[in-house]
Amino acid sequence: MRAVHAANRLAVMITQGAALVVLIFVLNRVVPGDTVDVLALQGDLTPAQQAEMRRELGLDRSSAAQFIDWSARALAGDLGQSLRFGRPVADMVAQAIPTTLALAAGSFIVGLALALGLAIGAAMTGSRALAACVDAVNLWSIAIPTFCAGVVGILLFSIWLGWLPVIGSFVLPVLILGIDNAGQIVKPLHEELREASAAAHVRTARAKGLPPWRIAVFHLLPTAAPVTLALSGLVLTSLVAGTLTLEVLFGLPGLGSLTLNAVRGRDYPVLQAAAVVIALGLVLINGLADLLNRLIDPRLEQ
């Protein structure tokens, strides 16, 4: 059963990944004007020179031929050369990935810890103050976009208080993204835990005469795991979006900054590579979340 599921899941992931790569390639071609047009504006090239350049770069061939060519090279680790910097795109992407991963993982963990702590506390104690905190964090994430919080944060902590450097610090972006994450999952998590505390198997646990801490740890917490994972999968998308924006705002050299610079400079090879890496990363993370869900909930094996 496990092998069948893994095969199914892998097939779905490969299909998703391939579809995304094609989509990104097509979108890059749909944008009016190609690389040579951009260079022509900068370098004042004659039409003959432009045609020559297109032939050199292979841009005169059909899109399908270009795609096959690009994919074959990408699979071999060659993502082409940056038009602006002349460096291999693969190197530029590889340098940007750790920053983005650190920011995403850090804020994910902060968000999860905050949401779980608040939701469990509120559900177990039935405390109104904690329930209000759940609502507050939830409202915060709905009402305040991360870049707004980022700007205010820089103003407050870096400029007025002077506690943190303006550029290159991870502390503020991780906190801001973490709270944003927590806000998106804490409310459904709280609901789920409140319902779970009325579930039949929790009643059985009480009927055994177990102390409250045992009921919380062994009977309530696992119940929340599938919901947490499913929500986390959803939250990841907005987490990636948030990471990309905050990287730019806080001057962190990650995939977001790389993408933005590529867009500004019409550096199509870089833009395409960055988009593909982000998309495949998301597919991979969603697949992992599903796998984890299965490890936690033995019923899904059937």
Q: Considering only residues 163 through 182, tell me which ones interact with another protein, judged by CB under 8 A.
A: none
Q: Which of 30, 32, 198, 213 binds another protein (CB under 8 A)?
A: 198
Q: Which long-range contacts (CB under 8 A, 24 or more apart) does 169-175 make?
A: 169/250, 170/102, 170/103, 170/106, 170/252, 172/250, 173/103, 173/107, 173/243, 173/246, 173/247, 173/249, 173/250, 173/252, 174/103, 174/106, 174/107, 174/110, 175/107, 175/110
Q: For residue 165, which amino acid is it? A: P
Binding region for another protein (CB under 8 A) out of 7-15, 25-33, 83-91, 116-124: 7-15
Look at the block and give the residue holding tokens 């750790």: 98
Binding region for another protein (CB under 8 A) out of 87-95, 97-105, 138-146, 292-300: 292-300
The 214-253 contact track toward another protein, x by CB under 8 A, reads: x---xx--xx-x----------------------------
Q: Could you say whether residue 143 binds another protein (CB under 8 A)? A: no
Residue 1 or 64: which CB sits closer to another protein? 1
Q: Could you say whether residue 208 binds another protein (CB under 8 A)? A: yes
Contact between 120 and 192 under an 8 Å Cβ cutoff? The reply is no
Residue 155 or 199: which CB sits closer to another protein? 199
Provide the 10 A C-beta neighbour count for residue 64: 8
Report, in Å, the least distance between residue 23 CB and another protein: 22
Residue 8 or 63: which CB sits closer to another protein? 8
Count, residues near another protein per rule CB under 8 A: 31
Q: For residue 183, which amino acid is it? A: G
Residues that bind another protein (CB under 8 A): 4-5, 7-9, 11-12, 198-201, 203-211, 214, 218-219, 222-223, 225, 296-299, 302
